[in-house]
Amino acid sequence: MKNKQSGLNPGLPDLLICLPHFLLFIEMKRTKGGQVSDEQKEWIRELNKYGDVLAQVCFGFDEARQLVEDCLISSSI
């Protein structure tokens, strides 16, 4: 409700992380029972059309941390 009042569109990923060579968007979900809405799927699909952007759903903190670590390793090459 607060996001809608502040003008944000539904489905926008929860996190934006600026990495050295690209932007990483993460939609966070619970490890058990987390569901991705149609709006979230659409945002992720559209964001991934850009060359220097990666958008992904992560189920839990450990998965998100691993994604960030993997991205940092690959961007340091």
**pTM surpassing 0.95?**
no
How many beta carbons lie within 10 A of that of residue 53, not counting itself?
14
Q: Which domain holds residue 59?
A: 2-75
Q: How many domains in the chain?
A: 1
77 pLDDT above the threshold of 60: no
pLDDT in tens, 12-50: 999 999 998 899 999 999 999 999 999 999 999 999 999
Q: What are phi and psi of 73, to 5 degrees?
A: -65, -45
For residue 30, what are the contacts with CB-CB under 8 A and spacing of at least 6? 59, 60
Separation between Cα atoms, residue 55 and residue 46, nearest integer Å: 9
pLDDT band at 73 (very low <50, low <70, confident <90, very high): confident
Domain at 19, CATH number: 3.40.1350.10
